[in-house]
Amino acid sequence: MEDLNVYNVTAKILRKIDKTKDKSSTRALLANIRNSINKSSYNNLDALAFIFNNMPEKYIGSGKELNDYEQAILTAIQMYALHQQSNEKSVLKIEYIEYNNGENLGDALSTLRGLDNKSIDRRFNAMILSSNYLQLQNHLRQFIKLLKAKSDVKVDYAGVANDLFWFLKNQKDRVKIKWSRSYYKFRKANDKGEN
C-alpha cells in the first residue's frame, strides 16, 4: 500500500499543476522544474520548495540528501515538466483504476516503435539495464524528449513516480520486468495485426 501513496501524492501534485498549466506563474514554475533536471538538490530550491509544500510531512526527509520519496516524486514531476513544455494539450494521464492494473511507462514508450524498431529497442534495453538511478534518469529524460517530439501519447507520471520509488528501494527487477512486459507486449499484438 505504501507505493499507492507515492502514486496518489504525485497525482495530486500533478493535477494541481496541470489544471493551471496555462497561467504564467505555472509556466514559470514548470521552467524552474525543468531547469532543475541534472542539478544537485542545492541548486534547485524553487522546484524543491514547490514539491515540499505539496507533499505530506511524513514523506519529507531530514538529511542532506533527498530521500526516496522526494527523489522519485521530483524526478517524475521533472519529466512531466519536460514533456509538457510548449505543449498546449496536457501530456498527463492519471489512472483512476488501481495502479498496478493500469498502463505504465512501457506502454507509453512502445508508441515510439515504428518500422525500424532496432534503435528504439536498443535505447529501451539500455534504460532498463540501468544499474543506478542516475543512469535511469538520463535514459528516461532522453525517452521523454523523444515522446515529446514524435508522439502525442499521454504518460501516467504518477505511475512513473511510483516505479521510480521502487527502483530506489532496490526493487529494480520488479520495475524492469513491468516496463518490459508492457513495451514488448504492445509490439507483439501489433505484429499479429491486433489492437
Q: Find how far residue 6's CA is from the centre of its chain.
A: 12
Write the CATH number for 120: 1.10.520.40
Q: Chunked in runs of 10, what are the mean pLDDT values of the chain (195 residues)?
A: 77 93 92 88 80 92 91 96 91 65 84 82 95 95 93 92 96 94 71 50
Helix ranges restricted to H, the chain: 2-19, 24-35, 45-53, 68-84, 105-110, 118-128, 133-150, 157-168, 172-191
pLDDT of residue 194: 47
- Adjacent-strand bridge partners of 92: 155
Q: What is the pTM of this model?
A: 0.88
pLDDT of residue 47: 84
Q: Rounded to an integer, what distance in angstroms lies between the CA atom of residue 19 and that of residue 37? A: 22
- Count: domains in the chain: 1
Nearest 5°: the CA angle 117, 148, 111 is 35
Structural domain for 177, as ranges:
2-191
